[in-house]
A = this chain, B = another copy of it.
Amino acid sequence: MASVLVIEDDDRIRLSLALALEDEGYAVDQAATAEEGLACQRVTPADTVLVDLMLPGLDGFECIRELRRADEVPIVVISARSDTHDIVAALEAGADDYLVKPVAVKELCARLRALRRRARASGPSVPTFALGDLEIRPLAGEVTRRGQPLALTRTEFRLLCELAEHVGMVLSRQQLLERVWEYDYGDHRLVDVHVGRLRQKIEDEPANPRHLVTVRGLGYKLQR
């Protein structure tokens, strides 16, 4: 599940943000000061950090720089100040986005999603692939579609992961047999059958696949 750390000294705002984000399905950590937030992030890193600029003690800018020193976590600033100067300074310090209070929760969520999408593509580790309404988590052994978990068999799962690791690239039956089945030779039609079964589960219209497509004469590929 996606997690967010909210660093904000005003209890009312922090709590209402936390509640709203929890409603949206995020796991939310809270901190009232920069120091507390940094400590929290060190111990249990969240996927994304929301930080207010006006904090007692260590201020927001310093907090951002400290967070950035540790890792690449996406940082969104929420501030009452709307000066261009503040915005530029926060972004230069390492923030990824800047919202002016009062924030619309829907907008915040949309921006968080956009940021996560971007951060995921750039991250070195790839815990999850997103393809349209599909989410594939190879390490968790889990595939969800529109948020609903899918019951895939082991073979289907490995096939899907193999294809997902090379999104947009055609993989030949031969390659798939080698990588999914660890066969060096064998009946290539085996692949067809499993692709067909997989389509039944991940496609709206299995006969008109949008994601798992056939490239006649070459093989199969997964596309967005």
Q: Write the nearest CB–CB distance from A217 to chain B, whole angstroms.
A: 3
Structural contact, A110 and B91, CB atoms closer than 8 A? yes
Residues from chain B with a CB closer than 8 A to the CB of A218 are 141, 154, 157
Chain B residues with CB under 8 Å of A215's CB are 141-142
Copies in the complex: 2
Q: Are B72 and A88 in contact (CB under 8 A)?
A: no
Interface residues on A, range: 35 or more
- Residues from chain B with a CB closer than 8 A to the CB of A12 are none
Residue positions of A touching B, CB distance < 8 A = 69, 72, 74, 84-85, 87-88, 91-92, 95-98, 104, 106-107, 109-111, 113-115, 118-126, 137, 139-142, 153-155, 157, 168-170, 215-219, 221, 224
Interface CB pairs A-B, < 8 A, 6: A84-B107, A96-B118, A139-B169, A140-B168, A140-B221, A141-B219
